[in-house]
Structure 1
Amino acid sequence: MKTINKNIGFIGSGNMAQAIIGGLLSQKIIKSKNIFSSDPSPQRRNQFSKEFSIKTFSGNVEVVKKSDVIILAVKPQIMEKVLKELKGNITSRHLIISIAAGIPIEFISKWLGDDLKIIRVMPNAPALVKEGISAISPGKNAGPEDLELAKEILNAIGKTVFLEESYLNAVTGLSGSGPAYIFLIIESLIEGGVAAGLPWEISKELVLQTVAGSVSMVTLTGKHPGELKDMVTSPGGTTIAGLKVLENKKLRYALIEAVEAAAKKATYLGKTYSKKNKTK
């Protein structure tokens, strides 16, 4: 794995910043002396300093001045405030990577400058255990080297795909919100096992390995999930009886509609930020 010989600064020290820093350091992709972070909370700064042996700051501008790559890891609600603070301090030498959900590249460039290199990323919750998937979308000024650098950084917390920004709302609805759907399914299956008479811990163990094994079957065989489903389903057997209930309850359509609803919400939020830009 390549090493990164640049200074990386994190604006915001939330869970995702913590996951990325932890991934970079555990895989020895970068040295702790080359990572900086900011956060208004003294407790959070102290935690990052102790856990990662990195230098932390209460102000964002100090991080920008020391960094080549700026990772915007703040909540969408405070992004505008942060960008106002950073305006004039970020230059064309910086690469900006935003992992804030729903914030278009257009919104960031409106505040910081139209000539900057900006990349938007949509990671997901499994990044916290280095099993995430991140969709990477370049702005107009980001070149191949910038994309490769972003990929190296995000690969520290899982896998990456490259997509045009227009697809990121769909990504948000699927892989961004998807872990919550999977957790609900897992929870429901565990409860189903309990309802059928199993102890909760045994039911949990059976469900987790069943889900993990099923994912491995799809990944390793390369077969369509529908084909694998048919392999498990015998005529007149127990599995078809269960599938009949799921189809009658429209589980398939509920999941499809959940992804669509989340994607539409992401689109709405993105348009809200775009409208803010037009009123400036």
Structure 2
Amino acid sequence: MTHINTLDPGASPLDYYGFELRRYREAAGLTQRQLGDIVYCTGSLVGQIETARKLPTLPFSERVDIALGTGGALSRLHELVMRSQLPAWFQQVAELEARAIEICSFQDHMVLGLLQTRAYARAVFGVLDDTDLDDRTEVRLARQRILEKPEPPVFWAILSEAALFLEIGGRETMREQLAHLLSFENNPRVNIQVLPFSAGAHAGLTGSFDLYRFASDPTIVYTESYGSGHPTANPDTVKDCSLRYDHLQAAALSLKDSAELIRRVMEERYGEQHGSGGDPVA
């Protein structure tokens, strides 16, 4: 267990966050319990965050910033803390996401992480391993804040139709997830297309991949295998994957038709079902 009197602020971003939280709290003359009362949590939770045993959430950081007059310091630090909690092999990818001006993603079997709801992400992470499920889910959701920046990247996402039918987390979770996809329908910077089953053989049969484009740096292609990620700027690979993405977009449904399919699956497959007498069926 990490003790507050031995916490090393240089050990990790999480340790630095805890060190700074304690410093700001003590400068304000507040106990952990008093600060907890102000920001609507327990003093025990404040203590766990100060000793790097618990991840801070963004709402917690924002409330503490206001309560202690930090000028937003902890909220700004929160993004770095969340990124540091990603698997080491994925941290570089999160940095690419944060810097890119355009992201093009193809996902061949499920909804990709940047578009997942909390319940969907928990269901994905919970397969065979439910340890630290809340924290792991929070870390994934923190990546999605790149879409909320003042100037977010232009995001193109192509999902296989299979992702709409693979029932992850149950019917309610899937209905919420598909509704979340539809929430971007009028957002010109988040564009979601569905690759229908009727497309048959297509340019993405070799697997999922992402393209990250930047204002001045070379384009990066990212692919993933079990427990490892593979970013590359190799010109031949970038050229090949860019061509594949163009063909996937051509084979996918239009933005409008994609939204209509998502809506139809949400209502017909995951909507409220009724028995023959018209009463809802659980």
TM-score (norm 2): 0.25
TM-score (norm 1): 0.25
Higher helix share: 1
